[in-house]
Amino acid sequence: MNLVDKIENTFTLTTPLYYVNDVPHIGSAYTTMAADVVARSQRLLGHSVLLITGTDEHGQKIQRTAESKGRSPQSFCDEISAGFASLWELLNIQYDRFIRTTDDRHKAIVKEFFQRVWERGDIYLSQQQGWYCVSCEEFKEERELLEGHRCPIHTNKEVEWRDEQNYFFRLSKYQTQLQTLYKSQPDFIQPESRRNEVLNFVNQGLQDFSISRINLEWGLPLPVDPQHTIYVWFDALLGYVTALLEPEQEPTLENALAKWWPINLHLIGKDILRFHTVYWPAMLMSADIKLPLRVFVHGFLTKDGQKMGKSLGNTLNPVELIKCYGADAVRYYFLKEIEFGKDGDFNESRFINVLNADLANDLGNLLNRTLSMVKKYCAGNVPQIKNEDIPFEHPLKSIGFHLGEQVRNAYEALAFNQACEAVLLLVQASNKFIDEQAPWTLYKQGQHQAVEQVLYAVLESVRLAAYLLSPIIPNISSDIYQQLGFGIDFNDQIQTSISAPFATHGTWGVLSNQQKLGEPRPIFKRIELSKND
């Protein structure tokens, strides 16, 4: 069965399903923030979006962690999984589905999928020997290991020798089909550097991989041999499919795949590249299911140059960061300061400097000083200017006119930093424009028309900046919009997509003089560096 084409206008995206071996850290939050930004930008464009996130709860790593804490795996998973959901709330992530791989409905989906692959003749029993990293839940090649048989990703963990009977998936059978996929769909893996990495890996020849574990209780039983449990990755990737089910729907593949499949975008970190770009498409090929359209791979957040992670124990607590600085600040920093696709280091003074410079000074002051001048020089009304009367060569209109498209392209390319930088150029140009035009002098000279024109152009530029940044800083953007007299809350995404769609609000010249402006109030309070910094 090759399922129907993607229903037009729908956009489905996923974050990885996070392991619940520990509370979430900023690394997990990073992918989820990016996913939320993509979802919000797609909604502004009028698409019907399904954002999937969730938790990956089976496997040895979780079983051992729960045991070490004297807990049953299920109650441990319940607690940690809830912690992820509440972090997403704090971070203002509006996901549509939260899938837990311990959900009952997931069992039915995995069983049906397994059956299809089994009937295809792609699963067989054999002996598995090799080095296993429990933190990665992955076998490693001897040559990949660091000294002392340590994992290259979890550098403080030793891999374990395994010699056991496992069921294998015939990955090798799909080598040519995978190569054809990468060739015919060059955008399937992004960025380019990751694509090359996968091409090299696949070109070296693929080996079948084991998809069952023996003597591991915490997992789904293998339908054809219940002494085995299904390998956690085989189970987890299918979580993306289970998540597509409507709440009351019967859990069948056909139901799950009917509306939102294929997935438009999987967002992942670089450590889980092979699973998503080699194993996963091969599994889907075997089950005769259409493939996802794009996998985008981001880098690692590092602290002092080392991957931040639960297994290494050098994480940054996102809850504290949000409580201290607010969700928008955290979202802005990570998306503006780190090129999505590359590694990036976190440093608190840099964090504070960026927020002060961009949000408090450039954007915040611009709005505040302009609204105060409007109050003083235009009796608090939007200046009586029509967009049509402002020439295209106007220093702000000329930037603003193309900005929407530029930023939209940046969001589509997941170049969040470029989106922010392009918007900031307009904001900075606006500040410069006010300083040069000096409306306070024009006012004294009685040039009221000129004052109105300057203030209109600046207010409109702030509005556009707020709109275009709304997927990243929805609270601040809503605050700006409200001060400009729009009854729009960017967190009400459905309403926003109706009353402020990209097609009208994403261009320059929207502000109308019918608008009733609100009271100026600071949108982002400057953060003071403590004396010790």
Write out the residues near ligand MSP by the rule CB under 6 A.
16-19, 27-28, 30-31, 56, 236-237, 239, 268-269, 271-272, 300-301, 307-309
What type of residue is 516?
K
CB of 270 to ligand MSP, least distance (A): 6
Closest distance between ligand MSP and the C-beta of residue 170, in Å? 21
Give CA separation, 10 vs 197, 258, 386, 462, in Å. Answer: 30, 12, 36, 31
Q: How far is CA 110 from the centre of its chain?
A: 25
The least distance separating ligand MSP from the CB of residue 95, rounded to whole angstroms, comes to 15
Q: How far is the CB of 22 from ligand MSP (least distance, A)?
A: 9
Q: What is the 3-state secondary structure (H, E, C) of 304-339?
A: CCEECCCCCCCCCCHHHHHHHHCHHHHHHHHHHHCC
Of 28 and 102, the one with the shorter C-beta distance to ligand MSP is 28
- Which residue number, 56 or 452, has a Cβ lying nearer to ligand MSP? 56
Closer Cβ to ligand MSP, 249 or 306, answer by number:
306
Among residues 340 and 481, whose Cβ is nearest to ligand MSP? 340
Smaller CB separation from ligand MSP, 76 or 300: 300
In the bound state, the residue with its beta carbon closest to ligand MSP is: 269
Cβ nearer to ligand MSP, comparing 19 with 524: 19
Give the separation between CA 336 and CA 417, rounded to whole angstroms.
Answer: 4
Rounded to a whole number of angstroms, the minimum distance from the CB of residue 350 to ligand MSP is: 17
Q: Of 496, 140, 91, which is closest to residue 325 (Cα–Cα)?
A: 91
What is the smallest separation between the CB atom of 99 and ligand MSP, expressed in angstroms? 9
Cα 138-144-147 angle, rounded to 5 deg: 110
| Residue 96 or 489 with smaller CB distance to ligand MSP | 96
3-state helix, strand, coil in the chain (%, to 5): 50, 15, 35
Closest distance of CB 318 from ligand MSP, Å: 12
Residue closest to 31 by CA, chosen among 61, 57, 54: 54
CB of 66 to ligand MSP, least distance (A): 15
| Closest CA relative to residue 63, chosen from 71, 52, 53 | 71
Measured from the CB of residue 37, what is the shortest distance to ligand MSP in angstroms? 15
Which residue, 39 or 427, is less far from ligand MSP as judged by CB?
Answer: 39
DSSP codes of every residue in 97-155: EEEETTSHHHHHHHHHHHHHHHHTT-EEEEEEEEEEETTTTEEE-GGGPBTTTB-SSST
Q: Enter the tokens of residue 309.
A: 């992670």
CB 517 within 8 A of CB 485: yes
Calculate the alpha carbon distances from 1 to 113, 232, 245 in Å.
12, 26, 18
Distance CA 55, CA 102 (A): 9
Amino acid making up residue 403: L
CB of 274 to ligand MSP, least distance (A): 12
CB atoms within 10 A of CB 144: 13
The smaller minimum CB distance to ligand MSP, of residues 267 and 422, is found at 267
Of 276 and 505, which has the nearer Cβ to ligand MSP? Answer: 276
Output the CA angle 212-216-221, nearest 5 degrees: 55
Cβ closest to ligand MSP, residue 350 vs residue 525: 350
DSSP three-state, residue 342: strand
Q: How far is the CB of 136 from ligand MSP (least distance, A)?
A: 8
Beta carbons of 465 and 419 less than 8 angstroms apart: no
Choice between 268 and 278, CB closer to ligand MSP:
268
What token pair was written down for 465?
A: 């900046």
CB of 528 to ligand MSP, least distance (A): 29
